[in-house]
Amino acid sequence: MDCRVVSGTQEKPNLIGLMPRAIPISKYAPKKFGKIEPKNLPVFKLEAIPKSSPTDLSVAALCEESGWSLSDRLRFWHTLNGELPGARLTVRKLELDEQALVHCQVEADGKLTILSNSREYATRFFETVFKNDVVAVARVGGNQIVSPVNHFRPTGTTVAFFAGTAAGALGWGLKVPHEIEDSMKEAFRGIEKRNWKSCVVMCRRALQALMEVAYEKFFGVKPGRGLDLNGIIRSFEKLSLSPIPRHWLNIADAVRNIGNVPGAHPRPIPSYRFSKSDAILAYSNTSSFVSAYFEKIAS
């Protein structure tokens, strides 16, 4: 997309130089408004207007830096019935390691708007996801690229909107232990680097971490040292009314078995090499299990 970058609006232009590069994302949670001075809640805004069509997004860039977590969204809004806004695309990306969030919206006329609590992350997101816009960014320097939108009242429209986005993203991110998130990111990197064995091993590790969390939640104690992943799965299977449905336990067992070969319990298979299909199967099953657990089972 060939575009020109325009500056964001601001109520206090003289404060641009005082704006921090990033604001802790926790400050935007609605419950925090009563404890934080409104003037400490700027939202950084980047706007781009296309000069041509279509607008290309790099899906690989969305995932390659930190993977695609449960908190992230890629949504297409469209008209169903009645008078509704025109079609638009929304991308929500949370980078837990940097505590940065972007909410990117592309309107039907191509106008692009990015809101973020981090100037650097918003700019990097724009440069990588909208690949052909790097030249446009290079031509426009300093605060014209990412201009802060300041609302000095807690009810400011932009701050309130971004706060809702942050609450939605953090509602997922804080429920998923970092160990599971990190293992899934590493598994995805294995797919990117065509290291199929690494992907399978990390999927099994993520699954074990999840099942240990589930065991502690539903049985009230941490699994003992002698209770491995197989034992944890069998413990849930023995329950007459297991909180984890049988079909999900079967999926967990499948990932456990494929992960045992190169990972936890090496069992060489003559003339067998792990392939892309093995990695994709393990990653798809594990990510689906993680999503189902935190969305439906543990909620």
Confidence of residue 132 (pLDDT cuts 50, 70, 90): low
User: What is the band of 234 on the pLDDT scale with cuts at 50, 70, 90?
Assistant: very high
Q: What are phi and psi of 157, to 5 degrees?
A: -55, -50
pLDDT higher than 60, residue 172: no
Distance CA 192, CA 285 (A): 17
pLDDT, one tens digit per residue, over 238-253 is 998 889 999 999 999 9
Flag whether pLDDT at 268 surpasses 80: no
- Residue 95, classed as helix, strand or coil, is strand
pLDDT averaged over every residue in the chain: 75
What's residue 102's pLDDT? 93
Whole-angstrom distance, CA of residue 46 vs CA of residue 137: 11
Q: Tell me: the pLDDT tens digits for 59-101? A: 888 877 667 776 788 888 877 666 655 678 999 998 877 888 9
- Asked if the model's pLDDT at residue 175 lies above 60, the reply is no
Residue 82 zone, left/alpha/beta (φ > 0; ψ -120 to 50; rest): left
Higher per-residue confidence, 253 vs 21: 253
pLDDT digits (tens, 9 = 90+) for 183-193: 998 999 999 99
User: Which of 294 and 90 is assigned the larger pLDDT?
Assistant: 90
Query: Which of 38-47, 49-58, 211-220 is the least confident region?
Result: 38-47
Q: Please state, in angstroms and rounded to a whole number, the distance separating the CA atoms of residues 113 and 61.
A: 18
The answer to whether the pTM exceeds 0.85 is: no
pLDDT at 229 (0 to 100) = 92
* pLDDT reading at 1 higher than 60: no
- Of 163-167, 249-253, 257-261, highest mean pLDDT: 249-253
Q: How confident is the model at residue 254 (pLDDT cuts 50, 70, 90)?
A: very high
Q: What share of the chain is helix, strand, coil (3-state, %, to 5)?
A: 50, 15, 35
Is the model's pLDDT at 127 over the cut of 90?
no
DSSP strand pairing (100-106 vs 88-95):
antiparallel
Is the Cβ–Cβ distance between 295 and 175 less than 8 Å? no
